[in-house]
């Protein structure tokens, strides 16, 4: 027999270990068929359609909101105002480190079918939740239960693989570009929440107020310089959200065209030389690379999520949007309104002639066939993912080679052929 819907406040105090729980709905825990996904929201008032998408992904289950300050502002909004039926909404406030260690907090997160991380101070989230039961519970939801997770502002900031922790306070675009190793540039990598569709990604929020494009580019420069990887970035303007489904397709929600709401998908160019020319302490960032350092897809946020972007290949889009090029000259961000969806179109590969290297099918799922023009043989063949991780390397002396790819993670790969001092490349998508 199901219990009646209730709303109540639970405050637990034991030797200063305090959390607050605001509970609305049925107290009977349910288990529903979740559809996974992640919601990234820019930081002002929530986009209604994105939040409905978030609730629908829960399958009508239990929703938990976690935060380090504030109250129950989400409860009625999520439970009854959006028109999507869920079993319950519980907001848990962990106002200090000890509160976040209480077993009840982690258990409620694990029981949830949807988790929302409110805005606030991401420095507190890192200090209170990292390397503890809250982090472990969030990872359980993502990796084992396949529940949907989302966050706005500070909540969005900590969901990506790399993240700006703000442990020394916020930082402006001017400060970040003038010194990418400023004491406020506290960036961490792969040591907190690791959503599979946000690997190598660093996010930023409130993109339009103030203008944070420059500091986000500096975040990416740091990640690229320090880790030697081609960084990726996702950013949302204040009234914009990106909803990423379990297939890695991110739909952008907002009020465009009535309001100029945009999301941005940034990626370091795939040319062989991609590291910043100057990214060092106490020096202005200089990252030009032929005015093609960072490729950006700017997507309109519409009420129906019409514009989408594929986070598996970081190239395919539908429904609109434009490509741009960004670079930094001596600490000043420069942008060009023109760009290309094909990462290799701007790369300095002398062998882009398809007569040199042919690969089929593309996209591939199980087996692909690579054909090399005989004049380049013998050759060294390397297959790299977006971040330069090598999945295949072999010296080839015949024109036709078959490669098994059914156990490779889905995504975009670069087939690089080296021969007689020359380098040739093809982009291939593995489904």
Do 384 and 264 share a structural domain? no
State the residue range of the domain holding 39. 6-343
**DSSP 3-state of 237:** coil
Read out DSSP for 88-147? EEEEEEE-SHHHHT-HHHHHHHHH-SEEEE-SS-HHHHHHHHTTSHHHHHHHIIIIII--
Q: Is the pTM of this model over 0.75?
A: yes
Strand partners of residue 350: none
Strand partners of residue 264: 235, 298
Do 317 and 354 share a structural domain? no
Tell me which of 319, 343, 367 is where a domain ends. Answer: 343
DSSP state of 314: S
Q: How far apart are CA 365 and CA 431, in angstroms?
A: 5
Do 392 and 305 share a structural domain? no
Q: How are strands ordered across the β-sheet holding 162-164?
A: 187-189, 162-164, 201-204, 232-236, 262-268, 294-300, 322-329, 332-336
Do 139 and 21 share a structural domain? yes
Do 164 and 69 share a structural domain? yes
Residue count of the chain: 431
Do 306 and 196 share a structural domain? yes
Question: Please, how many CA atoms are within 13 Å of residue 9, restricted to the half-sphere of its CB?
Answer: 7
Do 170 and 242 share a structural domain? yes
Tell me which of 343, 367, 384 is where a domain ends. Answer: 343
Query: Residue 1 domain-assigned?
Result: no
Do 186 and 259 share a structural domain? yes
**Could you give the number of structural domains in the chain?**
2
Do 334 and 364 share a structural domain? no
Q: What is the pLDDT tens value at each position of the chain, 431 positions in all?
A: 344 455 656 655 544 568 999 999 999 999 999 999 999 999 999 999 999 999 999 999 999 999 999 999 999 999 999 999 999 999 999 999 999 999 999 999 999 999 999 999 999 999 999 999 999 999 999 999 999 999 999 999 999 999 999 999 999 999 999 999 999 999 999 999 989 899 889 999 999 988 999 999 999 999 999 998 889 999 999 999 999 999 999 999 999 999 999 999 999 987 778 899 999 999 999 999 999 999 999 999 999 999 999 998 888 899 999 999 999 999 999 999 877 776 655 333 444 455 678 888 888 889 999 888 877 888 888 888 766 778 888 898 888 989 999 888 887 788 878 887 777 777 788 87
The CATH number of the domain where 200 resides is what? 3.40.50.880
């Amino acid at each position: 027999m199901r219990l009646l819907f209730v709303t109540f406040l639970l405050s637990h105090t034991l030797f200063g270990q305090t959390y607050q729980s605001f509970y609305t709905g049925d107290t009977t825990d349910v288990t529903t068929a979740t559809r996974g996904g992640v919601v990234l929201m820019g930081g002002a008032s929530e986009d209604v359609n994105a939040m409905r998408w978030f609730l629908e992904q829960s399958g009508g289950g239990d929703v938990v909101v976690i935060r380090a300050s504030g109250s129950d502002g989400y409860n009625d909004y999520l439970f009854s105002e959006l028109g999507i039926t869920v079993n319950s909404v519980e907001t848990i406030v962990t106002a200090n480190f000890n509160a976040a260690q209480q077993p009840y907090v982690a258990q409620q997160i694990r029981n949830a079918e949807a988790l929302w991380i409110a805005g606030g101070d991401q420095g507190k989230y890192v200090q209170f939740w990292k390397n503890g039961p809250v982090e472990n519970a969030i990872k359980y939801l993502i990796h084992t239960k396949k529940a949907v997770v989302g966050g706005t502002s500070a909540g969005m900031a900590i969901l990506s693989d790399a993240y700006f922790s703000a442990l020394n306070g916020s930082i402006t675009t001017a400060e970040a570009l003038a010194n990418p190793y400023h004491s406020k540039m506290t960036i961490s990598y792969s040591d907190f929440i690791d959503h599979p569709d946000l690997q190598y990604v660093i996010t930023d929020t409130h993109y339009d107020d103030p203008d944070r494009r420059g500091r986000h580019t500096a975040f990416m420069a740091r990640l690229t310089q320090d880790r030697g990887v081609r960084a990726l970035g996702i950013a949302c303007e204040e009234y914009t959200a990106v909803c990423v489904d379990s297939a890695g397709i991110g739909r952008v929600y907002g009020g465009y065209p009535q309001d100029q709401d945009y999301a941005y998908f940034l990626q370091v160019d795939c040319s062989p030389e991609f590291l910043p020319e100057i990214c060092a302490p106490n020096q202005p960032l200089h990252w030009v690379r032929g005015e093609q350092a960072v490729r950006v897809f700017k997507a309109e946020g519409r009420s129906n999520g019409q514009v989408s972007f594929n986070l598996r290949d970081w190239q395919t889009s539908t429904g609109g949007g434009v490509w741009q090029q960004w670079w930094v000259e001596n600490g000043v961000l420069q942008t060009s309104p023109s760009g290309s969806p094909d990462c290799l179109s701007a790369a300095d590969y002398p062998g882009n002639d398809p007569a040199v290297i042919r690969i089929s099918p593309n996209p591939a799922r199980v087996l692909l066939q690579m054909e090399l023009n005989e004049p380049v043989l013998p050759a060294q063949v390397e297959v790299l993912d977006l971040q330069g991780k090598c999945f295949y390397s072999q010296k080839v002396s015949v024109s036709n080679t078959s490669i098994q790819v059914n156990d490779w993670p889905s995504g975009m790969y670069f087939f690089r052929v080296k021969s007689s001092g020359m380098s040739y490349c093809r982009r291939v998508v593995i489904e």
